Amino acid sequence: MDDQHRAQKPQSWGPRNSQGSAPPNARSAPPQGPAPESPYQGETPPRPKKRRRVFLWIFLAVQILFLIWVITGAASGSGTPEECRGLAGDDLKLCEDANDAGTAIGVGLIIGLWAAVDVILGFTYVVYRLATRRS
């Protein structure tokens, strides 16, 4: 029985010609059997999860808060301050100018803080993207 198995040529896959062996350099067609079993019998596969843009909304909320803060800070310096009431002439002018300078310094500090927070948020986003990227 071992002699019979040793005498046979190894079978090759693919179409056979009339002589029983595959033609040289012939490519076989893919099998025409039933499709492989799918875990989703009659259903469409679930869609991949839609990426939520949480960072974008947080970033926009921070921008709106800073914009409101700058507007209210600048508006607080308009008009004659209570400390300047009752003054006249050069004293009134000096008091109003000092109030305007203080308002400008305050608004400038808010804008500087705004820029610093934006830089920190930007670096945080870059680190997050690098940590969650797919290879």
Which value, to the nearest 10 degrees, does the dihedral of the CA atoms of residues 111, 114, 115, 117 take?
160
Residues 87-112 pLDDT 10s = 788 888 888 888 888 899 999 999 99
pLDDT tier at 55 (50, 70, 90 boundaries)? confident
Region of 23 please: left (phi>0), alpha (psi -120 to 50) or beta. Answer: beta
Which residue from 100, 95, 75, 94 is spatially nearest to 84, judged by alpha carbons?
Answer: 95
Query: What's the pTM value of the predicted model, to 2 decimals?
Result: 0.57
Distance of CA 2 to the CA centre of its chain: 66
